[in-house]
Amino acid sequence: MQDYDIVILGGSAAGITAAITARRFYPDKKVLIVRKENNVLIPCGIPYIYGTVSSPDKNLIPDAILEKNNIGLLIDEATKIDRNGKIVSTGNGETIKYKKLVIATGSIPSIPPIKGADKENVFSVKKDDQYLASLLKEVDRSKDMVIIGGGFIGMEFADECKKNRDINISIVEMLPHCLMLVFDEEFCEQGEALIKERGVNLITSERVEEITGDTKVEGIKLASGKTVKADLVLFGIGAKPDIDIARDAGIEINDKGAIKVDRYMKTNDENIFACGDCCEKFSFFDKKLVNLMLASIATYEARIAGANLFDTNRSNEGAVGTYSTVIGDTTLARSGMSVSGAADNGYDIIVGQAEGPNCHPGCMPGGNNLKVSLIFEKGTGVIIGGQLIGAKSGGELINLISGCIYKKMTANDIATFQMGTHPALTASPIAYQLSNAAEMAVKEMR
């Protein structure tokens, strides 16, 4: 039997971050990661295997990061947790004793009960490099691909699969717009226009009723009765928590099928913590449970869990929710609430917008337009959300907006914060989008 102070189940974003954090806070403890995968994929990089990156083996998190931080690694599947004995058992017959355990088993793809979903050439987005390599071979052979789901996964896959291929791609989305679970209509429409420019066919306000064909997919049938030809179907509709080992051990699971945790990422067992996609999330704004699965949230929770294993050092303030994607060379990003989300939650809001080049003058190499929209609560002036579209530099600017939300900055705070600018790197200090969007909101409040 192996004996460790800290054992972490799962070796992706949450597991690795929890292990490194534990090493930093408890340098004398023995730390072990147990994972079933030989190789760990960069989760958010999976769509780019099919275009920009070109291969699963170029989208991996290197194990050298574990060696560098003196973290042990066992490649085996954890199958059972004995809470009384504080023992983890594995599929290969290993037993590992722990003092503190972190469950970071992540998520698995959601597959709806659609007739024909079990046919050959129907895929989901599994975090398995061999599986994704087989999908890559089929994408390369495909002439007519259908992606079910018009969220980030669906849009990114469509954009990447179109690169350097003569392939027809259709996205089928139940909602009136793609990306509608994240962005307000204005931004959704611009995102849809961008993907259409790439030659992707969008079918919105439609539901897939059946995947047709004999043993292999030949098409899809929509609820409206329409059919779409397909030799490859990809489900990109999200994921659900992977909680089997926790549930079997008597760890409490919430109504949404996620591991219940407190503010310190502790489960109902004082020696077992959880973080990442497998555990429940609550909103930063109203503290209600939310279904958010983002690597940024997973690592946030992991830094809390890893720090609290033997002493309370950090607490979870809730998920702000910061998203970003890129279609072609255009960034779409959001942090916090959208306008529609704020309305649904009863907020009285003010919106400030500003746009302009991301460098100055705009003719500098790499210059591109960037539009920023900030959402403030009218009474307090506190920022509760932001969205942007345009230059790739927006991918970092949305993180700054997230920080403003987390620290509950006001419109005046943001309008007068001192930024650093450079002609080749940022917008002009006169036309800095973040400050000017806040100024527009201040004007409306007055």
Shared-domain flag, residues 144 and 173: yes
Residue 158 lies in a domain: yes
Residue with the two structure tokens 């899809």: 220
Distance in Å from the first CA to the final CA of the chain: 68
Q: 3-class DSSP state for residue 158?
A: helix
Residue 51 lies in a domain: yes
- Domain end (from 283, 307, 331): 307
CA of 344: how far to CAs of 64, 320, 347, 410, in Å? 46, 16, 8, 21
Residue 316 lies in a domain: no
CATH code at position 227:
3.50.50.60
How many Cβ atoms from other residues are within 10 Å of residue 28's Cβ? 6
Q: How far apart are CA 427 and CA 396, in angstroms?
A: 13
Instruction: Tell me the residue type at 142.
Output: S
Token pair for 133 = 């390599």
Q: How far apart are CA 212 and CA 274, in angstroms?
A: 40
Shared-domain flag, residues 339 and 290: no
- In 3D, which of 178, 176, 185, 142 has the Cα closest to residue 162? 142
Residue 23 lies in a domain: yes
Cα diameter, the chain = 69
Name the residue range of residue 252's domain.
2-108+240-307
Spatial contact of 325 and 152, defined as CB atoms under 8 Å apart: yes
Residues 6+ apart with CB under 8 A from 365: 424
pLDDT of the residue at 366: 84
Shared-domain flag, residues 302 and 335: no
Shared-domain flag, residues 373 and 329: yes
Shared-domain flag, residues 292 and 405: no
Average pLDDT over residues 9-17: 97
Q: How far apart are CA 276 and CA 246, in angstroms?
A: 14
Residue with the two structure tokens 């004398």: 28
Spatial contact of 211 and 117, defined as CB atoms under 8 Å apart: yes
Q: Is the dihedral of CA 158, 159, 160, 165 positive or negative?
A: positive
Shared-domain flag, residues 169 and 158: yes
Residue 117 lies in a domain: no
Average pLDDT over residues 86-102: 98
Shared-domain flag, residues 135 and 98: no
- Domain end (from 237, 255, 272): 237
Shared-domain flag, residues 254 and 349: no
Strand-pair partners of 319: 283
DSSP 97-125: E-SEEEE---EEE-----BTTTSBTEE--
Q: Looking at 189-249, which runs of residues are DSSP E strands?
A: 201-204, 208-213, 217-222, 227-229, 232-235, 239-241
Cis ω before 361 (30° cut-off from 0): yes
Shared-domain flag, residues 330 and 284: no
Shared-domain flag, residues 152 and 232: yes
Q: Looking at 36-106, which runs of residues are DSSP E strands?
A: 40-41, 60-61, 72-75, 78-82, 87-90, 95-97, 100-103
**Alpha carbon 168 to chain centroid, angstroms:** 27
Query: Percent of the chain beyond pLDDT 70?
Result: 100
- In 3D, which of 125, 99, 98 has the Cα closest to residue 42? 125
* Model confidence at 1: pLDDT above 90: no
Q: How far apart are CA 275 and CA 267, in angstroms?
A: 10
Token pair for 186 = 């204005």
Spatial contact of 427 and 433, defined as CB atoms under 8 Å apart: yes
pLDDT tens readout for residues 177-219: 999 999 999 999 999 999 999 999 999 999 999 999 999 999 9
pLDDT of the residue at 362: 87
Token pair for 93 = 């017959």
Q: How far apart are CA 277 and CA 284, in angstroms?
A: 17
pLDDT band at 403 (very low <50, low <70, confident <90, very high): very high
Shared-domain flag, residues 104 and 247: yes
pLDDT band at 446 (very low <50, low <70, confident <90, very high): confident
- Domain end (from 214, 237, 260): 237
pLDDT of the residue at 243: 98
* Model confidence at 252: pLDDT above 90: yes
Mean pLDDT of the chain: 96
Instruction: Tell me the residue type at 85.
Output: G
Q: Is the dihedral of CA 247, 253, 259, 261 positive or negative?
A: negative
Q: 3-class DSSP state for residue 204?
A: strand
pLDDT tens readout for residues 261-302: 999 999 999 999 999 999 999 999 999 999 999 999 999 999
Strand-pair partners of 383: 376
How many domains are contained in the chain? 3
Shared-domain flag, residues 327 and 303: no
Query: Percent of the chain beyond pLDDT 90?
Result: 97
- In 3D, which of 239, 240, 167, 170 has the Cα closest to residue 206? 170
Spatial contact of 279 and 265, defined as CB atoms under 8 Å apart: yes
Q: How far apart are CA 115 and CA 148, in angstroms?
A: 14
Residue 312 lies in a domain: no
Q: How far apart are CA 202 and CA 193, in angstroms?
A: 10
Residue 436 lies in a domain: yes
Average pLDDT over residues 72-91: 98
pLDDT tens readout for residues 306-344: 999 999 999 999 999 999 999 999 999 999 999 999 999
Residue 313 lies in a domain: no
Q: How far apart are CA 127 and CA 8, in angstroms?
A: 18
